[in-house]
Amino acid sequence: MPKDALGVLSEIKKSFITKQIKEGRRGDGRKPDEYRELRIQTNYVPRANGSALVELGKTKILVGVKIDAGEPFPDTPNLGVFTTNVELLPMAFPTFESGPPNEMSIEVARVVDRGIRESKMVDFEKLVIEPGKKVWVVFVDINVLDYDGNLFDACSYGAVAALKTAVVPGSKYGGKDTQLPINNTPVSVTIVKLDDVMVCDPDLEEEQMSTTRVTITTTEDGHIRAMQKGDLGYFELDEIRKAIKMSSDTGSIIREKYLK
């Protein structure tokens, strides 16, 4: 795709944000650890087994969960199957093109998946229909509809909310419909560095300006379940410690307010 004005970081915007940061504020007036307005609507696609529409600032994500019977993986014959896919729809940004997943969508999908899988959020042992032969397969399909930064967190919140409200269609095979068995609620927090200041939930311009980013997923017990450092640039170890604390603190607030 040819260059689009939105894809090119504005020098004026950059110096405006830098000036604000020096005074402890961000471009839109937020504090460093403040999230944009977050809205999650579950069951947005009633015919899917679970779904959630997430609006994080102007970033908009739709997650659909489909659950169907299938074969287990050969090396885990007594566990259900779970798979995550992210589509960066061309409608979300002028330079997004249709086509097979690119490295950006694959990284987001794998990081979201890791956060959920390593938290043991979904009880895979309870998803067996016939040991070794038939298990429930959970497809999490994440569609990015509108892009204004921080796909990692928006996609993760959508996936978690959709899974928490998902129904296993047991009635399709002569049984009963049941809630997807859930153990806990992992929360992902993404932090980027603007010069030396660490800020949570970057919008698009902050992402474009940042020197590096880290996404950390924690569970209710305060333990770290998944981490991903991305983009160019580097962190000092102290900064990572700070990021872990930010993630755990902010994560608790988000869990309490939006993902109960």
Partner 1 sequence: MTETKQIVIPGDEIERTNEKVRNGAYKCGQDKYCSEYFGIVQRNEQFIDIVPFSGPYFPRKDDKIIGKILEIGPSMWTVDINSPYHSLLHMNDTPWRTSAGDIKRYLAIGDYIYGKIMSINELRESWVTLKDAGLRKLEGGHIISIPAPKVPRIIGKGGSMVNMIKDATGTRIVVGQNGLIWLDGIPKNIMIAIDAIKMVENEAHTVGLTDRMEAYLESKKGEIDGNSK
Partner 2 sequence: MGTASDIKLIDENNIRLDGRGPDELRPIKIETNVLNRADGSSFIEWGGNKIMVAVYGPREAYPKHNQDINKAIVKARYNMAAFSVDERKRPGPDRRSVEISKVVSEALEAAIMVELFPRAQIDVFIEVLQADAGTRIAGLTAASVAVASAGIPMRDMVVGCTAGKVGNKIVLDLSKEEDNFGQADLPMGILPKSDRIVLMQMDGDLSVEEFEQATSMIMKATKRIAQIQREALTKKYEIQQKEQGE
Which residue ranges make up the site for partner 1 (CB under 8 A)? 3-5, 8-16, 19-20, 29
74 binds partner 2 (CB under 8 A): no
Interacting span for partner 2 (CB under 8 A) from 9-17, 40-48, 126-134, 211-219: 40-48
Nearer to partner 2, 18 or 85 (CB): 85
Nearer to partner 2, 21 or 127 (CB): 127
Both tokens of residue 222?
């305060």
Both tokens of residue 104?
């950006």
Both tokens of residue 66?
């489909």
Q: Which does 68 bind (CB under 5 to 8 A by kind): partner 2, partner 1, none?
A: partner 2
- Find the binder of partner 2 among 34, 118, 146, 239 (CB under 8 A): 146
Q: Which does 51 bind (CB under 5 to 8 A by kind): partner 2, partner 1, none?
A: partner 2
Shortest Å distance, C-beta 48 to partner 2? 4
Task: Please give the Cα distance from 195 to 113 (Å, whole number).
Answer: 30
Q: Which helix (H) or strand (E) holds 198?
A: strand 197-200
Number of residues binding to partner 2, judged by CB under 8 A: 34
Q: Which does 20 bind (CB under 5 to 8 A by kind): partner 1, partner 2, none?
A: partner 1
Q: How far is CA 4 from the centre of its chain?
A: 26
Beta-carbon contacts of 193 under 8 Å, excluding residues fewer than 6 positions away, are 210, 211, 212, 213, 233, 235, 239
Shortest Å distance, C-beta 106 to partner 2? 13
100 binds partner 2 (CB under 8 A): yes
DSSP 8-state assignment for residue 224: E
Beta-carbon contacts of 138 under 8 Å, excluding residues fewer than 6 positions away, are 65, 66, 67, 80, 81, 82, 83, 122, 127, 163, 166, 180
94 binds partner 2 (CB under 8 A): yes
- Find the binder of partner 2 among 98, 196, 236, 260 (CB under 8 A): 98
